């Protein structure tokens, strides 16, 4: 598996705070929320590469996922 890219992102503190609150509401980290929003924007613009990997899932598997194994 290829290594995920790391970038430095400078944000207005108020924008980061709003993003972090939104991420908390969605049970995501701020980083995962940024990636989610970027992927959604790319998909809506028709620019998400077909070979883009899915966002890695964290935490425990859902019950319906465990039943399929």
* Domain membership flag for residue 17: yes
Query: Looking at the domain assignment, is residue 16 inside a domain?
Result: yes
Place of tokens 């028709």: 46
Q: Which pTM does this prediction carry?
A: 0.74
The whole-angstrom separation of Cα 34 and Cα 58 is 16
Structure-block tokens of residue 50 = 């077909």
Mean pLDDT confidence for 10-39:
96
Residue 41 has pLDDT above 60, yes or no: yes
CA–CA dist 30, 47 (Å, integer): 23
- Average pLDDT over every residue of 12-18: 98
Answer whether residue 58 is part of any domain: no
- Domain span at residue 14 reads 9-48
- The pLDDT value given to residue 14: 98
Total domains, the chain: 1
For residue 40, being part of any structural domain is answered with: yes
Q: Check whether 43 has a pLDDT greater than 80.
A: yes
CA-closest candidate to residue 56, choices 22, 23, 31: 31
């Amino acid at each position: 598996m290829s290594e995920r890219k790391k970038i430095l992102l400078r944000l207005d503190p108020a924008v980061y705070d709003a993003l972090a609150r939104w991420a908390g509401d969605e049970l995501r980290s701020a980083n995962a929320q940024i990636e989610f929003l970027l992927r959604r924007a790319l998909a809506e613009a028709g620019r998400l590469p077909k070979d883009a990997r899915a966002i890695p899932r964290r935490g425990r598997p859902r019950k319906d996922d465990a039943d399929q194994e």
